[in-house]
Every structure is written in structure tokens, then in C-alpha cells.
Amino acid sequence: MDPLLLLTGFLAAAVRVATPLLFAATGETVTERSGVINLGIEGQMLAGALAAALGASAWGPWGGLAAPRRRHRVRQPAHRPASALRSQG
């Protein structure tokens, strides 16, 4: 196999795999600059991936896309007051 082709494929795969982690790290950086520290970012990524996998297996690809959003809407009111109190202090 051509070494250049192998290197190109490796770099493309590295970018594809690292993109979700890059987005999470960027979001966490913005959140920490606002004064709220989120220690569970990896767990939230894992829960979202699990919800997407379960939604995709149950309702197809569009269900997998919508399942993590439904999970977030259910949890959002429970943690909103706590984050609002932390940002004021």
C-alpha cells in the first residue's frame, strides 16, 4: 500500500474521531469562562451517545438524531435553577 495514502487515511480518521471531543472541550471552555464548572462533560457525552444509539435502533436514524435532544429537554428544568444561582454568586 502507498505510504502517502495510508497517512492520508490515518489523518482523516484522526480528525473524524477527535471532532466530538473538540466540540465538547470548546463548549466546556466557554462554560468555565462564564463561571460555571461542569465536571461531568464526559458523562454527558456518553449519555448523549447512548441515547442516540438507542433512539436509532428503535426509531431509525432520525430517531437517533432526536433522542438526545429529548433527553436534554427532560433534564433541563431540574438543573437550571442551580446553574442560575451559581452564576450570580
Q: Domain map of the chain by residue range? A: 3-88
pLDDT for position 70 = 61
| DSSP-derived 3-state class of residue 40 | coil
Determine the pLDDT at residue 5.
92
Catalogue the long-range contacts made by 36-43 (C-beta closer than 8 Å, 24 or more residues apart).
36/83, 36/86, 36/87
Residues of the chain with pLDDT under 50: 74, 76, 88-89
Q: What is the pLDDT of residue 80?
A: 52
Work out the mean pLDDT of the chain and round it to a whole number.
79
Contact 27, 40 (CB under 8 A): no
